[in-house]
Structure 1
């Protein structure tokens, strides 16, 4: 199944990459949700099937979905002239500088 996720198709400007600094591994926060009873029961049943708590199930599910959403941003559509410029830039990249080297050393938020 093909999805057109171009910025023009969605009426938005292209997304830009942002790298957030990671919080310490032991830092925790909370999220409070109001959900319908039937939805909560569904989540509880699914969590029980996997031998997880509701919290574990919801965190794992939300984390997996967040990773999918972020990784799915790799498809984009360009006009022919911009595509040619993009391919040219891919074929002839600049030499890596200190900022690129620092970026490549960072641990992704989902790791």
Structure 2
């Protein structure tokens, strides 16, 4: 089952954007666009749109009341503990032989 994804609404006021890209990048984009059943332009527009949304969402300010904020700070100040933390700390490290 595929997850529905947001499509960019078409506008009657589309403006051209010209890009220069290396051949290897164009080939990669074309391969990915073909898999998605999209044109190169549509694929690039969708990808750029998602990246722009993500960037803007990363800048979203979350406001909480003083009590909730203090609870958050208290959790951050607690030393890590528990079985999950112990397992993580004892797991083999890829950089250690």
Instruction: Give the TM-score taking structure 2 as reference length.
Output: 0.51
5+ residue gaps, structure 1, are 1-24, 77-85, 89-111
Would you say how many aligned residue pairs link Structure 1 and Structure 2? 56
**Which one scores higher on RCO, CA 8 angstroms, separation ≥ 6?**
1
1:50-69 alignment runs, 5 A limit: 50-69=36-55
* Partner SS, residue 56 of structure 1: helix
* Partner SS, residue 31 of structure 2: helix
Structure 1 segments, 4+ long, off by >3 Å, are none
**1:43 aligned to which of 29, 33, 39:** 29
Deviation at 1:28, TM superposition (A): 1.0
Counterpart of 2:56?
70
Deviation at 1:43, TM superposition (A): 0.2
Larger Rg: 2
Counterpart of 2:17?
31
Deviation at 1:68, TM superposition (A): 0.5
CA-based RMSD: 2.2
Deviation at 1:29, TM superposition (A): 0.4
Cα distance between partner residues in 2 of 1:64 and 1:43: 15
Instruction: Give the TM-score taking structure 1 as reference length.
Output: 0.45
